[in-house]
Chains A and B, each alone.
Chain A
Amino acid sequence: MPSLGTSFGRGGATTFQQDLQNSDCIVIMGSNMAECHPVGYQWVMEARERGARVIHVDPRFTRTSATATDYVRIRAGSDIAFLGGVINYILENGREFREYVVNYTNAPVIVDEGFQDTEELDGFFSGWQDGKGTYDNSTWQYAGMSVHGSAGQREMGANQGEASGHGGHGGSLKHGEPPEEDPTLEHPRCVFQLLRRHYARYTPEFVEQVCGVPREQFRMVAKALCDNSGRERTSAFCYAVGWTQHTVGVQYIRAAAIIQLLLGNIGRPGGGIMALRGHASIQGSTDIPTLYNILPGYIPMPHAHAHEDLQEFIDLNSAPTGFWGNMGAYTVSLLKSWWGAHATAENDFCFDYLPRITGDHSIYQTVLAMLDGTVKGFIVVGENPAVGSANSGLHRKAMAKLDWLVVRDLVEIETAAFWYDSPEVRRGELRTQDIGTEVFFLPASAHTEKDGSFTNTQRLLQWHHKAVEPEGDCRSELWFYYHLGRIIRQKLQDSEEERDRAVLDLQWHYPTSGQHEEPSADAVLREINGTGPDGSALSAYLELKDDGSTACGCWIYCGCFADETNQPARRKPASEQTWVAPEWGWAWPANRRIIYNRASADPDGKPWSERKRYVWWDEEEGKWTGEDVPDFQSDKRPDYVPPEGAKAQDAIKGNHPFIMQADGRGWLFVPAGLVDGPLPTHYEPHESPFSNRLYDQRGNPARQIFERPGNHTQPTDGQPGSDRFPFVMTTYRLTEHHTAGGMSRFVPYLSELQPEMFCEVSPELAAERSLVNGGWATVATERAAIEARVLVTDRMRPLRVNGRVVHQVGLPYHWGSRGLTRGDSANDLFPIVLDPNVHIQEAKAATCDIRAGRSPRGAVS
C-alpha cells in the first residue's frame, strides 16, 4: 500500500481486473491469482484468448501456472533480485519508454549531493542511524527541495521523536518543476542514473544465482515485458501477499512500480499494477481503516509529540503541491463528520479529541504487550489470529494472559476457543483451569443477513442487501459498534471528565429499524460520502472545505452517495454499458476505474496510440474525455504551466499525471515516505539458507525483529546450527479454503474439497527425507513442530541457488484445531518479523526441517 502510494500517489491498485483483458503481457508474481482470485482471473483468461502472454513467476507450479503461457520457478524470497534484474535489463538495453519516463516520472530530477547508494555503503543507504535502527532521509531529498511522500511515513522525522518537521517549509516547485532536473537523463545524480548504478549488478547471471531462474528464462520474461510495452502495447503486473508478506515486502512492490514507470504502463489500458487484495473488503479496511496509524482516506494518525495542533498537523503532513495539498479540507471535513456542531474553528474542530500514537501500536506489538502483561483486553472481529498470524502459537499463549477477550465471528473459531481447544491445551502446556481470561463470544451475522458494502481489490464499492434476518443472537458489526457506543455514552453521560468529551460529543445518532434496532447502513454510507453546508450529499471531494462548512467521513469516498443515490448499489448489467462498466458499483476516487489515466495520453493530450486510447484531451470541448472518468482536473489544458506560488492541484503541470504527488510525477526514486530506502534492494529473507550475494548486510537493516523467548530467530547461512533447518518454506492459500479457515473449515462443501492439512514436496525431497505421498510428515522450526499429510508432486522441484541445490516446502495455512476439518497451523512455525513500513509479517519465506511421520501429541516438558 505505501509502495503504490509513494510511487504514484494513492495506496491502491492502479487498475481494475476487467482491464486485464486489454493486456498484451501479464506478469503474475507474488500471487496465485487463479486460486485466490478465481473470478477476477477470468479476465486473465480472456487476455490469453486474445493472444497475450501470461507469465506466472512462483516458487510452486499452481493452478495459475497451469493456465499461464509461461511458468518461471523462483526461490521464495528472492523477488527483488528478479525484478531488479528486469530493471537492469530495461536500462542496459535502452528499452525504457523514453517520452513517458522523461515527462511523467521523476527520472530527470537531480537528488541531493549527500545521497549515497547501497553500492557505496555495502548494503546501506546514506543516513542510517545505527542506534535507532532507522534512516534519516534528509540526504534522499531532491536537490534544492524537500518533498512529502503521498503515503507511508510522511512525517518520518516526527515519528522518531524529532519535531523538526521536514518539507513544509522547504523549497518548492517552480512552475510545476523541481529546482534541479536534467531532461536528457545524463546528470550523474539524476534519478535515472542513480537507478542504473543501483541495479548495475543485477545481471541475468546474478538472477540465476540468487533466484534459481536460468538466465535464458529470465531474459525471456524481461524481453516479453519490454516487447509488450510502449505506445502500441501494454503490460500489467498482478501481485498479492506473495509480495507483501516479506521483511522487504513494500520494496518488492516498489520494484514493480519502477518497472511499470520505466516501461510506461501506469495509467494505461492493459497496463498498471493490479494489487490483488485477498479479503472481500480488505481494501475497505484500509480506506476506512482498521489500522492504528491512519485515519479514513489515508490521513495519518496524529502523533503525540509531533502534532501539537491542527495547523501543525496539516503543515507537516501535506505537501503544498498536488492534491494532498488539500489535506486541511479532508481533515476538517472528517472531524466535522465525527463531532458535528461541537467541532468549530475555535477548538481546532475537535482535533484534540483524536487519539494520539506514540510509536508502533501495530497488532504484533500489541500481542507481544499482551504477553508482557501490559495489554489487558482484546476485541477480535472477523479475524482468527490463533491460526492466521505469524507465530500463531505465541498468539494463543498471549491471549491466555489477557483479563478479557471479545470475539465476534460466524462460528466459534480457534481464537475464541483457545482456552479449552488448542495445541497448547492438548499438550498440557496450558491448562484451562489456569487461564484467567474472561472470554466473550458474540455471534456475528453473515453478509446475507445485513446491509452494507464491500470495497474490493480494485477500489470498487459494491453494496449488498440484507436477504434474511439473522438467527438467534447473531448481529451485524454495525449493530455491535453502534450499540456499544450508545451504551458507553449512556454510562458516561454524567461524567465531568475532560477525556470523556471525545466520546460524548460524537455524532452518534443513526436511524434504526426492526426489533433489534439495526442502524441504517445507507445512513452511514451517506455520512461517509459527506454533506455540504445545506446538509445535502456532496458529489466530489473537490467540494470539501477546510472552514467547517463541509463534513465527510472519508474524502476518497466522497461521491459515493452523490445525488442522494447509493452509488455502490448500482447494478446496470454489463450488456447495457461499455466494457468499463462505470454504472456498476462505484470506485474511489470519483468512480475512476483506471487511476492516473492522464498517462494514457501523451504530453500533448493525444492517446499514445489508437490501440491504447483511454483518456484524451478534447480541444473543442476544452476538457478531458474518454472511456473513464479522467483522473485529472477536467478542464486543465495539457500545456498548462502553474504560475509562481501556485498551491495544491494548481501547482501540478498539465503534463504530469500523478496528481496526488507533490511534483505530479511517478516516483522511480522515493525521497520520502518509506523507512527502508528510496530504492528496492535485494536482501535475503530474515531466515534463509543463503547469505546476501550483494552485500555483507544480509537482511533488510530496518526490519522489525522481536528476539524473545518463543520468537527466536534460527541460525542462517554460515552460522553454527544453520544446517538444522536447510529447506526454504513458504505458505499459501488454496481456493477451497478461506484465510484462517473460519468461513470454510466449518462448511461441509468446502471442507470435503481439501479435507486435511498437507504439505507439498518434490519427489527429490521426498526421496531425501523418506516422505510418502499420502503419508505424514512433521515440519519443524525453532518455534514449533507441526504435522501434515504429504503430497509429493512434480509441481515442486529443487532449485539451484548460489551453486547448490535447495528444496522448498509448501504449506497451506488454513488449518486449526476446530471445525469439520482440523489440523495443525502452518503459522505456528513462523517467527514474528515484520516489514518496517507496514508491520506485515514475513510468512512467505523462512527455513525449516521436514521429517517423515507424525509429530508427538502428548505433553512436552
Chain B
Amino acid sequence: MSAQPNVDTEAWPESYGDEARPRMGFFTDTSVCIGCKACEVACKEWNQVPEDGLLFTGDSYDNTGGLGANTWRHVAFIEQDRPLRVGDGEDGDAFRWLMSSDVCKHCTHSACLDVCPTGAIIRTELGTVVVQEDVCNGCGYCVPACPFGVLDKREIEDDGRVWKCTLCYDRTREGMTPACAQACPTESIQYGPLDELRERAGARLDKVVADGFAGARLYGEDPTDGVGGFGAFFLLLDEPEVYGLPPNPVDTTHDLPEMWRSAAVAAGALAVGVAACLLGGRR
C-alpha cells in the first residue's frame, strides 16, 4: 500500500525514453454517478463521433446499449430490488438504481494492441491505448480480442475502420482534461496520473464502505489481474457482470506462447502425417 503502484506497460515508459509522460487514466466512481450522460454527449461532440441509432430499448434509461465504434462512453442503468445502503429498506421496499459510465479500459496488457496486425493500435507517451485512424484497415481482429467488447468496426459511410475511446489524446497531449471528465458534474469521472488515482481510489473505497454502500468494490485497480490492471478503472456497487463487465478479464496474449506451441505440435503432426502417406505406393 505504501509503495507507489506500478503502472508500467511493455511499451511505456521504456520505448519512449525521455518523451515518456506520467501514465494517465480514469477513475470512474459510480457511487456518485447521477446518470446524466453528459459524458456520452461531451465525448461525441469533441470527437465528432456519429449518432449511434435512435432505438428505444426499454432497458431502463439506457438507449445506448453498450460501447462500440460510435459510442465511447456508455452509461449503464440497473434497477434492483436491493437497498443502496446496508440495512436500508428492511420493510421490503428496498430499491436502488445503479448508474455507471463505461469506457475503454486502456489495459496495461492490451489484447487489442497485441493482435492488431498493422500496428495501428499503439501505446502513447501517456500510457494510453489509441487506434491510429490513418493506419487501421478495418480487419476487425481487435473486435473479438477485447475481453470487454469495447472496439467495433464503423460500418457507416464507407468508413470501415475500428474506433474506440482515445482518452482524448488530442486534449491530453496538450495537458487538458478529456471531454468526459471535464463535463461530469459530480466528478464521477476523474482524470489524472494513474498511480495517484489508484491511491485515491483506495481511500475512496474505504469511505464508501464506511458510509454503508452495499456491494462497493474496486474493479480494475489491481496490477496483478489478467490485463495487468486497467488504465481506466472503477468503483462499482455490485458484481461486474451486473454492469455487463467480465468478472475476470484476461489479455488473450497471455496464452499466446502456449498457442504457438500447440500449433507447432499440430504442424509437426501434419508434416509427419503427410510424409507417412507418401509411403505405400501410388495407388
A residues sitting closer than 8 Å to B (CB atoms) are 34-35, 38-39, 41-42, 45, 49, 61, 63-67, 69, 71, 734-736, 748-756, 758, 773-774, 789-791, 793-795, 820-821
Select which of A42, A755, A790 is within 8 A of B63 by beta carbon.
A755
**Closest A-B pairs by Cβ, 6 of them:** A774-B58, A748-B51, A755-B54, A66-B97, A756-B56, A38-B36
Closest to B49 in A: A749
Evaluate whether A63 and B63 lie within 8 angstroms (CB atoms) in the complex, with A34-B34, A45-B32, A755-B55 already known: no
Residue contact A61 to B97, C-beta cutoff 8 Å: yes
Question: Which of chain A's residues have a CB closer than 8 A to the CB of B37?
Answer: 735-736, 753
Question: Taking the nearest CB of chain A, how far is it from the CB of B199, in angstroms?
Answer: 18
User: By the criterion CB–CB under 8 Å, are A61 and B64 in contact?
Assistant: no
The answer on a CB contact under 8 Å between A751 and B54 is yes
Select which of A69, A749, A790, A794 is within 8 A of B95 by beta carbon.
Answer: A794
A762 CB, nearest partner CB in chain B, Å: 12
List B contacts of A820 (CB < 8 A). Answer: 54
> Of A66, A750, A753, A794, which one neighbours B34 at CB under 8 angstroms?
A66
Return chain A residues, CB-CB under 8 Å to B32: 45, 49, 67
State A375–B187 Cα separation when bound (angstroms). 51
A753 touching B64 in the complex, CB below 8 Å, given contacts A63-B35, A63-B99, A735-B37 = yes
Q: A34 — nearest CB in chain B belongs to which residue?
A: B34
CB-defined contacts of B58 to chain A, threshold 8 Å: 773-774, 789-791
Q: Which residues of B contact A39 (CB under 8 A)?
A: 185
Can you show 21 pairs from A to B with CB atoms below 8 A apart? A34-B35, A35-B34, A38-B36, A41-B185, A42-B186, A42-B187, A45-B34, A63-B99, A66-B84, A735-B36, A748-B50, A749-B41, A751-B54, A752-B55, A753-B41, A754-B61, A755-B63, A790-B58, A791-B58, A794-B81, A795-B95
A750 to chain B, nearest CB (A): 7
Q: Does B155 lie at the interface of the complex (its beta carbon under 8 Å from any beta carbon of A)?
A: no
| Residues of chain B lying within 8 A (CB to CB) of residue A752 | 51-55, 63-64
When chains A and B are docked, how far (Å) is the Cα of A41 from the Cα of B35?
12
Q: Which residues of A contact B63 (CB under 8 A)?
A: 752-755
* Complex contact A774–B51 (CB within 8 A): no
Q: Kindly list chain B residues whose C-beta atoms are within 8 Å of the C-beta of A789.
A: 56, 58
* Contact mask for chain B residues 93-110; partner A; CB cutoff 8 A; 1 contact, 0 none: 001111100000000000
Contacts of A795 in B (CB 8 A): 79, 95, 97
A853 to chain B, nearest CB (A): 16
Chain B neighbourhood of A41, CB < 8 A: 34, 185-186
Please provide the chain B residues from 16 to 63 with a CB less than 8 Å away from any CB of chain A in the complex.
32, 34-38, 40-41, 44-45, 50-58, 60-61, 63
11 new A-B pairs (CB below 8 Å) besides A753-B40, A756-B56?
A: A38-B34, A45-B32, A63-B36, A63-B97, A66-B99, A749-B44, A752-B51, A752-B54, A752-B63, A789-B56, A793-B60
Which residues from chain B contact A794 at a C-beta distance below 8 Å? 79, 81, 95
Q: Which residues of chain A come closer than 8 Å to B99, judged between CB atoms?
A: 63, 66
B38's nearest neighbour on chain A, judged by CB, is A38
- Which residues on the A side are within 8 Å of B95 (C-beta)? 61, 71, 794-795
C-alpha spacing A69/B213, complex, angstroms: 11
User: Nearest A residue to B96 by beta-carbon distance?
Assistant: A66
Closest to B36 in A: A38
> A42 vs B33: C-alpha distance in the bound complex, in angstroms?
10
Distance (whole angstroms) from the CB of A797 to the closest CB of chain B: 8
Partner of B51, one of A736, A749, A790: A749
Report B248 CB to chain A, min CB distance, Å.
28
A490–chain B nearest beta-carbon distance, Å: 43
Considering residues A66, A750, A755, A791, which has the most beta carbons from chain B within 10 angstroms of its beta carbon?
A: A66
> How many Å from the CB of B38 to the closest CB on chain A?
7
Q: What is the chain A residue whose CB lies nearest that of B55?
A: A755
Residue on A nearest B56 in the bound complex, by CB? A756
- Counting chain A CB atoms within 10 Å of each CB, the highest count among B34, B37, B40, B50 belongs to B34
B56, B84, B96: the one within 8 Å of A758 (CB): B56
- In the complex, per-residue mask of B134-154: 1 if CB is within 8 Å of any chain A CB, else 0: 000000000000000000000
Report the Cα distance A735→B186, complex, angstroms. Answer: 15
CA A65 to CA B95, docked complex, whole Å: 10
- State whether A45 touches B54 (Cβ < 8 A): no
**Which one of B51, B96, B97, B186 lies within 8 Å of A45 (CB-CB)?**
B186
A39 to B98, CA, bound (A): 19
CA distance A34 to B95 in the complex (A): 18
Instruction: Looking at the assembled complex, report how far the CB atom of A575 sits from the nearest CB atom of chain B, in whole angstroms.
Output: 15
State A535–B35 Cα separation when bound (angstroms).
Answer: 51
Chain B residues with Cβ below 8 Å from A69 are 85
Distance between Cα atoms of A69 and B85 in the complex (Å): 8
> In the complex, are the beta carbons of B35 and A66 less than 8 A apart?
yes
Question: Is A63 within 8 A of B79, CB to CB?
Answer: no
The minimal Cβ–Cβ distance linking B70 to chain A, given in whole angstroms, is 9
Most A CB contacts (10 A, CB to CB) among B56, B79, B95, B187 go to B56
Q: How far is the CA of A34 from the CA of B36 in the complex (A)?
A: 8
Chain A residues whose C-beta falls within 8 Å of the C-beta of B79 in the assembled complex: 793-795
Residues of A within 8 A of B96 (CB): 66
User: What are the residues of chain B within 8 A of A38 when measuring CB–CB?
Assistant: 34, 36, 38, 185
Contacts A63-B99, A67-B32 given; indicate if A755 touches B186 (C-beta within 8 A).
Answer: no
B52, B54, B60, B98 — most chain A CB neighbours (10 Å): B54
* CB closest chain-A residue, reference B91: A214
Q: With a CB–CB cut-off of 8 A, which chain B residues contact A45?
A: 32, 34, 186
A65 to B84 CA separation, bound complex (whole angstroms): 11
* In the complex, chain B residues whose CB is within 8 Å of the CB of A735: 35-37
Cα A819 to Cα B111 with chains together (Å): 41
Measured between beta carbons, the chain B residues less than 8 angstroms from A64 are 34
> Chain A contacts of B55 at CB under 8 A?
752, 755
Are B97 and A755 in contact, CB atoms less than 8 angstroms apart? no
Q: Note all chain B residues with C-beta closer than 8 A to A67.
A: 32, 34
A42 vs B36: C-alpha distance when bound (angstroms): 12
Instruction: List chain A residues, Cβ under 8 A from B52.
Output: 752
Q: How far apart sit A794 and B35, CA to CA, in the bound complex (Å)?
A: 18
From residue A58, how far is it (CB to closest CB) to chain B in Å?
A: 13
Residues of B within 8 A of A750 (CB): 41
- Rounded to whole angstroms, the CA-CA distance of A754 and B56 in the bound complex is 7
Question: Which A residues are CB-close (under 8 A) to B54?
Answer: 751-752, 755-756, 820-821
Interface residues of B in 150-202 (CB under 8 A from A): 185-187
B68 to chain A, nearest CB (A): 12
A829 to B95, CA, bound (A): 31
Collect the chain B residues with CB atoms within 8 Å of residue A71's CB. 95
Quote the shortest CB–CB distance from A34 to chain B (angstroms). 4
Closest-by-CB residue of B relative to A757 is: B56
Within the complex, the shortest CB–CB distance from B221 to chain A, in Å, comes to 21
CA–CA, A754 to B97, complex, Å?
18
A106–B265 Cα distance when bound, in Å, is: 94
Q: Indicate the member of A39, A67, A758, A791 with the most B CB atoms within 10 Å.
A: A67
A735 and B41 alpha carbons, distance in the complex (Å): 12
Minimal beta-carbon separation of B25 from chain A (angstroms):
22
Min CB gap A585→B, angstroms: 18
Residues of chain A with a CB closer than 8 A to B51's CB: 748-749, 751-752
- Once bound together, how far apart are the Cα atoms of A859 and B84, in whole Å? 50
Interface centre among B61, B81, B85 (most CB of A within 10 A): B61
| Complex Cα gap A606–B193 (Å) | 46
CB contacts (< 8 Å) of B85 on chain A: these are 69
- Bound-state Cα–Cα, A740 to B244, Å: 34
Minimum distance in angstroms from B102 CB to a CB of chain A:
15
Interface residues in B116-130 by Cβ distance below 8 A to A read none
A61–B95 CA distance with the chains assembled, in angstroms: 9
On chain B, the residues within 8 Å of A61 by CB distance are 95, 97
| Contact among B34, B50, B56, B187 for A774, CB-based, below 8 A | B56
Q: How far, in whole Å, are A193 and B31 apart by their CA atoms in the complex?
A: 46
A791 to B57 CA separation, bound complex (whole angstroms): 9
Contact residues in B for A756 (Cβ distance below 8 Å)? 54, 56
Given A736-B37, A748-B51, A795-B95, residue A42 in contact with residue B185 (CB < 8 A):
yes
- In the complex formed, the residue of A with least CB distance to B81 is A794
CA distance A748 to B57 in the complex (A): 17
